[in-house]
Amino acid sequence: MTTLSSTPAQSTILLVDDDQSLTQLLSEYLSGEGFTVYSAADGEEALSKLRDNISADVVVLDIMMPKISGLDVLKQLRNFSDIPVIMLTGRGDDIDRILGLEMGADDYLAKPCNPRELSARIKAVLRRTRPSANDSANGPKTVAGLQLDPSALSATLDGHPLSLTGAEFRVLQLLVEHIGQVLNKEFLTEQVLQRKLTRYDRSIDVHVSRIRQKLAQLQTSNEGLHIKAVRGMGYQLLTGANGDEN
């Protein structure tokens, strides 16, 4: 079992699910892992709490809920908060998983979920969204107008803020650190999501797609940064017009 010492200090989780028995089970387990846990039975309650009442570090959000679906909650949430979100999806609901990632979720987990695996996913997300001592020591990284500051988990491109989720920041950070090299999806999945790549898992592909879109919105020429897909291998970060995405 994961030890309490590995739980990021003073972390607060908001569980959003209309399944009260599952919420109680997960709440008891996560509380035993050292988290402070709040819950909401539907999307309206969750949005109200996030706007007015509580400050959560991670939201665990079920997709299938009454009143407002989890995807609609995520869409509204992203209008006022970049809080990390882990989506709970039906097993095999690949479209919902991809939609959730495309809308800004950090990760997903299929239901019925193992509480221990959920705890591990939450801790992985927290590690991505909180600067480490090693990040502070390394300092900012700059390439082709892009500046990444791992100590603040912030990014700018040509002086303009680049809004990234924790997963997107980590993907881009790895590509910058290995600029010109092809990083395979197995490596990126293990480093970013801290799990093994499984068949049909498109999480890294979706995160890369979102990064590309955000870079394109701020870049004014084709001479900037490009993330190239290398078929059958992975992705590499290139500068200049040779960085065709494929």
Asked whether residue 104 is assigned to any structural domain, the reply reads yes
CA distances from 233 to 158, 236, 243 (A): 30, 10, 16
Asked whether residue 246 is assigned to any structural domain, the reply reads no
Q: Assess whether 137 and 124 both reside in one domain.
A: no
Q: Assess whether 105 and 203 both reside in one domain.
A: no
Q: Assess whether 113 and 212 both reside in one domain.
A: no
Domain that holds residue 204: 133-239
Of 97, 129, 161, which marks where a domain is finished?
A: 129
Q: Assess whether 176 and 234 both reside in one domain.
A: yes
- Spatial separation of the C-alpha atoms in residues 183 and 193, rounded to whole Å: 15
26 Cβ contact list (under 8 Å, min separation 6):
15, 17, 37, 60, 113, 115, 118
pLDDT tens, position by position, 108-123: 998 888 999 999 999 9
CATH value at residue 145: 1.10.10.10
CATH value at residue 54: 3.40.50.2300
Q: Assess whether 159 and 205 both reside in one domain.
A: yes
pLDDT band at 213 (very low <50, low <70, confident <90, very high): very high
Q: Assess whether 79 and 31 both reside in one domain.
A: yes
Asked whether residue 245 is assigned to any structural domain, the reply reads no
Asked whether residue 244 is assigned to any structural domain, the reply reads no
Asked whether residue 55 is assigned to any structural domain, the reply reads yes
- Side chain identity at residue 131, one-letter code: P
Q: Assess whether 151 and 233 both reside in one domain.
A: yes
pLDDT tens, position by position, 35-81: 999 999 999 999 999 988 778 999 999 999 888 999 999 999 998 88
Residue 133 has pLDDT above 60, yes or no: no
Of 129, 156, 189, which marks where a domain is finished?
A: 129
Of 83, 99, 129, which marks where a domain is finished?
A: 129
pLDDT band at 153 (very low <50, low <70, confident <90, very high): confident
Q: Indicate yes or no: pTM above 0.95.
A: no
pLDDT band at 142 (very low <50, low <70, confident <90, very high): confident
What DSSP assignment string belongs to 116-173?
Answer: HHHHHHHHHHHHHHS--HHHHHH--EEETTEEEETTTTEEEETTEE----HHHHHHHH
User: Of 207, 141, 142, nearest to 168 (Cα)?
Assistant: 207
Number of domains in the chain: 2
User: Of 108, 83, 78, nearest to 203 (Cα)?
Assistant: 108
